[in-house]
Structure 1
């Protein structure tokens, strides 16, 4: 078995996909991609996995949208630190919005009673 992606400059460094030439029992050869580099299309996934992906993506978008809306509409004096770094932090999926919502906001005053 000869692997053209490793060795004398024949492969891509650090990509993680290995294309191997495999010799079969009858002398024929075929190319196989290692499981490390195997990619599936969304349409090829099982229905359960598709639903899981859609739910997680919807949660991510909702969290991201809520954090952005809160940062934009909140007065600067109710944000811990400048808004620009928090805005940049929100670009980091999951971590940025959660960090902002947990640590980047001052508590809003309660609505006055009428």
Structure 2
């Protein structure tokens, strides 16, 4: 099977790849900034594994979204 080169892709496929990459990158940055600023008591689990998973996993945004949905806890009332 021959590898498809960038020049062989249609303009629509190129745009989809670029937009997907930008969206995933933006989600990762926002998730990492939130993780860094959030107190450890408001994160389910340790912050280090979340940071590693968010940074190193190429997931089409699944890991950052999982962090936002599952990994954060609501602040406790003081």
TM-score range, shorter chain: 0.7 to 0.9
Following TM superposition, by how much is the alpha carbon of 1:43 offset from its aligned partner in structure 2, in angstroms?
Answer: 2.2
The alignment status of 1:73 with 2:40, answered yes or no, reads no
**Structure 2 residue runs without a partner (length 5+):** none
CA-atom RMSD, angstroms? 1.7
Gaps of 5+ in 1: 1-36, 110-114
Aligned residues: 73
Aligned mates of 1:80, 1:51 — CA distance in 2: 36
TM superposition shift of 1:108:
4.5
Runs (4+) off by over 4 Å = none
Q: Which has the higher contact order (CA 8 A, sep 6+)?
A: 2
Q: TM-score, normalised by structure 2?
A: 0.79
1:95: Cα distance to partner?
Answer: 2.9
Correspondence 1:101 to 2:71: no
TM-score (norm 1): 0.57
